[in-house]
Amino acid sequence: MAKFAIDLKSGDIKNEAELIVGIDLGTTNSLVAYIKNGQAEAVKGKNGKSTLVPSVVHFSPEGKIVVGDAAKEKLISDPENTIYSVKRLMGKSYGDVQGVQQYFGYQIIDNDTESLVKIRVKDKFYTPIELSAEILKALKNRIEEELDRVVSKAVITVPAYFNDSQRQATRDAGKLAGLDVLRIVNEPTAASLAYGIGLDQSESHTIAVYDLGGGTFDISILRIQDGVFEVLATNGDTFLGGDDFDRAIVDYWTAENKLDSTQINADKELSQALRLQAEKAKKALSSESEYRGEVNTISCQITREQFDELIQPLVDRTIACCQNALKDAQVQLADIDRVIMVGGSTRVPLVRESVGQTFGQEVYDKVNPDEVVALGAAIQADILAGNQKDILLLDVTPLSLGIETVGGLMDIILPRNSKIPTRVGRRYTTSVDGQRNLKIAVYQGERDLIQHNRKLGEFILKGIPPMPAGLPKVEIQFILNADGILKVKAEELRSNVEQEIEVKPTYGISEEEMALMLIDSIQNAADDMTVRALLEARNEANNIVLSAERFLGQNQEILNEEEIATTRSLTQALRDAVAGTDKDAINQAMETLNTYTAPLAHRAMDFALLEAMKGKQI
């Protein structure tokens, strides 16, 4: 049956059903999937072999760009021109990756530590966004060939811990590849969708998603309620994965055959051949109990038991991460309804058994762990295309967002864990008479003082017509879209002067920093409260000093000398208190001044009223 879709903007009827594809842009492998006859399916290449596209980009001497299996073959023979693991560099500054530069076989450079990294290939420089775009183009080609039609819309997955700038970079890579990225989805969210978890909005679940790939390990604890996926905690190790299993096997064969490891490492071709043989052995051991092979007369033998022994310490490290994630999420083991296995390395029986034991339940591993994220992305894409009615999936913000107010205080506009997409507005005013410009500085974090939070950007609302302090009505709106990208809009409502920015952080924060910011806010909550109380007392006192001065200026004729002198000295006492750091002293001085001036103010008001009555004509 043919499907028809109506474009709601133009009213046109399109004769092909809208197609949005799902993409898993992985560190080691990437995939593209779509819904075929109601079922999510990952697309194989022309040779029909595998659904996986190795996330490797090779630049040939003639400047030709090759992606995937053919590029992977060049990893050893032409390392400087073969880029792998580019996902690790997305949205990162040079400062972020300095410590791990030796891990990459290619050159990462930059002129200053705050801007985003670039990769040098021959005499050209590429951003991680451009390189990821090459991988995305290969996936786009793959599905276009399969379906024989143009594909221009996609959903792309990212790790749950990716921050704003890493998400934005992923979205930009899509744009560069000619894809309209309709949604950025968390990988664990996609994995749970592939199992149908979260599709029924009346159900709630707490799930653990264990993702062991080629070079990275992530554990995420999610709570799914009313169609909202909330990331309770993430943990992991960005340098732990199946590659380490391969290395352990190579080391084992080296020792068994009494070979010299430095000699082997020096022979690039031999070490590559051994690595490939080790990966083959590892995969075989996922279903068999023994492997026998040979590389250049070197005997390559290993049993499942021996392999398990080699990788036990690595598996133990992932289990420790799981326990930390549970602690951070403040959930008990018994609260976890499901444990989902993601990533090629979860095919290793010891991994599955250890995870099952840790969580005390059978793990979910029926959906191919290589494909599960891409399949979930395809389901999310199908929902967005409107093919699955009544399902709306929402994520939540991981950190609070707000602006700086007087005294360097953080005023939270969108609290952490707010559902997105969302739009929130709040009214502000000026603090100085005739103020024409208002600086709006946007911050992310949980602390009370902006200096402890992370600045996302700032802009100036210019051209407010001069008005007394407190009169302008400035509405600040935070509009957070479904990818977690923030737009901030400011408008002075009396004059309709307005200004807006899209917040793209200048450089990325790592997941550790994000976690630190949260921990920091908890540990410093008491301190922050004291500081906030002091700043608030000062702000209030300053306003009272101002009104006292205005009062004295306007009511000279109804006050006697003693009253004027006392008001002056009490105002000065309040000023002195504001200069100090004792909030109780400030409050005390405010109270004294208020108590003394209250009857004077009453008298002034009566007088003004009398004057007004006199002048009134009927």
Total number of residues binding ligand ADP (CB under 6 A)? Answer: 21
Catalytic one of 187, 218, 237, 244: 187
Of 250, 293, 249, 248, whose CA–CA distance to 270 is shortest? 250
140 part of the active site:
no
Residue 279 or 536 with smaller CB distance to ligand ADP: 279
Should residue 54 be labelled a site residue for ligand ADP when binding is judged by CB under 6 A?
no
E-strand ranges in 199-319 read 205-212, 217-225, 228-237, 290-295, 298-303
Should residue 416 be labelled a site residue for ligand ADP when binding is judged by CB under 6 A?
no
Contact 157, 30 (CB under 8 A): no
Should residue 329 be labelled a site residue for ligand ADP when binding is judged by CB under 6 A?
no
Give the 3-state secondary structure of residue 58.
Answer: strand
Should residue 54 be labelled a site residue for Mg ion when binding is judged by CB under 5 A?
no
Contacts of 486 (CB under 8 A, 6+ apart): 164, 401, 442, 456, 478, 479, 480, 502, 503
Position 604, amino acid? A
Q: Which one of Mg ion, ligand ADP, none interacts with residue 345, CB within 5 to 8 A by kind?
A: ligand ADP
The stretch among 5-13, 26-34, 411-419, 451-459 that binds ligand ADP (CB under 6 A) is: 26-34
- Distance separating alpha carbons of residues 297 and 275, to the nearest angstrom: 15
Q: Quick one: tokens of 85?
A: 């693991």
Contacts of 574 (CB under 8 A, 6+ apart): 541, 544, 545, 548, 586, 589, 590, 593
Alpha-carbon torsion 47, 51, 52, 56, what sign?
A: positive
Contact 480, 486 (CB under 8 A): yes
Residues from 228 through 247 that contact ligand ADP (CB under 6 A): 241-243
Should residue 216 be labelled a site residue for ligand ADP when binding is judged by CB under 6 A?
yes
Of 485, 418, 559, whose CA–CA distance to 172 is shortest? 485
Q: Which one of Mg ion, ligand ADP, none interacts with residue 214, CB within 5 to 8 A by kind?
A: ligand ADP
Should residue 214 be labelled a site residue for ligand ADP when binding is judged by CB under 6 A?
yes
Should residue 28 be labelled a site residue for ligand ADP when binding is judged by CB under 6 A?
yes
46 part of the active site:
no
- 417 sits in the region (left: phi over 0; alpha: psi -120 to 50; else beta) called left
CA distances to 134, 138, 154, 378, 381 from 19, rounded to whole Å, are 21, 18, 9, 10, 8
Residue 209 or 300 with smaller CB distance to Mg ion: 209
The Cα diameter of the chain in Å comes to 116
Contacts of 438 (CB under 8 A, 6+ apart): 428, 430, 460, 461, 464, 472, 474, 490, 492
Contact 385, 221 (CB under 8 A): no
Q: Which one of Mg ion, ligand ADP, none interacts with residue 283, CB within 5 to 8 A by kind?
A: ligand ADP
Q: Is the peptide bond before 421 cis (omega within 30 degrees of 0)?
A: yes
Burial degree of 140 (CB within 10 A; 0-12, 13-18, 19+): buried
- The residue from 130, 164, 370, 371 that contacts ligand ADP (CB under 6 A) is 370
- Distance separating alpha carbons of residues 121 and 383, to the nearest angstrom: 40
Contact 397, 418 (CB under 8 A): yes
Should residue 213 be labelled a site residue for ligand ADP when binding is judged by CB under 6 A?
yes
Residue 157 CB, nearest distance to ligand ADP (Å)?
10
Should residue 26 be labelled a site residue for ligand ADP when binding is judged by CB under 6 A?
yes
Residue 244 CB, nearest distance to ligand ADP (Å)?
9
Q: Which one of Mg ion, ligand ADP, none interacts with residue 91, CB within 5 to 8 A by kind?
A: none
Residue 39 CB, nearest distance to Mg ion (Å)?
21
The stretch among 24-32, 60-68, 418-426, 607-615 that binds ligand ADP (CB under 6 A) is: 24-32
Counting runs of H as helices and runs of E as strands, what totals does the chain give? 16, 30
- The residue from 20, 21, 22, 26 that contacts Mg ion (CB under 5 A) is 26
Contact 534, 580 (CB under 8 A): no
- The residue from 23, 27, 193, 409 that contacts ligand ADP (CB under 6 A) is 27
Catalytic one of 134, 211, 404, 492: 211
Should residue 508 be labelled a site residue for ligand ADP when binding is judged by CB under 6 A?
no
The stretch among 20-28, 140-148, 312-320, 447-455 that binds Mg ion (CB under 5 A) is: 20-28
* Token pair 């604890």: residue: 221
Residues from 206 through 225 that contact Mg ion (CB under 5 A): 213
E-strand ranges in 228-356 read 228-237, 290-295, 298-303, 338-342
Should residue 93 be labelled a site residue for ligand ADP when binding is judged by CB under 6 A?
no
Residue 322 or 372 with smaller CB distance to Mg ion: 372
Q: Which one of ligand ADP, Mg ion, none interacts with residue 230, CB within 5 to 8 A by kind?
A: none
Residue 164 or 218 with smaller CB distance to Mg ion: 218
- Distance separating alpha carbons of residues 463 and 460, to the nearest angstrom: 10
Going residue by residue from 158 to 197, which x/- string records binding to Mg ion, judged by CB under 5 A? Answer: ----------------------------------------
211 part of the active site:
yes
The stretch among 23-31, 40-48, 126-134, 516-524 that binds Mg ion (CB under 5 A) is: 23-31
Going residue by residue from 477 to 506, which x/- string records binding to ligand ADP, judged by CB under 6 A? Answer: ------------------------------
Residue 491 CB, nearest distance to ligand ADP (Å)?
44
The stretch among 293-301, 341-349, 352-360, 427-435 that binds ligand ADP (CB under 6 A) is: 341-349
Residue 376 CB, nearest distance to ligand ADP (Å)?
13
Binding site for Mg ion (CB under 5 A): 26, 213
Active site residues: 24, 87, 187, 211
Binding site for ligand ADP (CB under 6 A): 26-29, 213-216, 241-243, 279, 282-283, 286, 343-345, 347-348, 370
